[in-house]
Amino acid sequence: MDIDDDGDLDIVQVRRGGSIHVYRNDFASTGSSGSSVLVRLVGKGGNTSAAGAWATAQIAGKTMVRHLVANTGYGGSGLWRLHLGLGKSSQIDQLVVHWPSGKTSSFGPVAAGSKLVVTEP
């Protein structure tokens, strides 16, 4: 999860009956790491959080797949958005969102550093 909304992934660890640990990733601010695109999905009907949606991204000839899930482990949860790491690429060539309803949304190119909100058609 990206707790400080700077495009790199951070970690929040909570142990049952224990304390909370936050591991903030500041590596991207050094200019040594790649870039990313953040996508927030908004579903329709009873699934406005778009749980079960997934996206495919074409980036420099490679395909990346990301699924939007309700939890990430026992008692765990992430932020309700997709994080697409681009490495050294400057853009996503094509992004396709597959909605639980069976509909799709397709667009691109998407520039690195973008923060998108995509609503189900």
| Domain count along the chain | 1
CATH number at residue 95: 2.60.40
Distance CA 64, CA 7 (A): 17
Q: What's the pLDDT score for residue 32?
A: 44
Q: Is the pLDDT of residue 39 over 60?
A: yes
Record the pTM. Answer: 0.77
Domain that holds residue 110: 34-119
Q: Is the pLDDT of residue 27 over 90?
A: no
Q: What is the pLDDT of residues 79-104, one digit of tens each?
A: 678 989 888 899 999 999 999 999 99
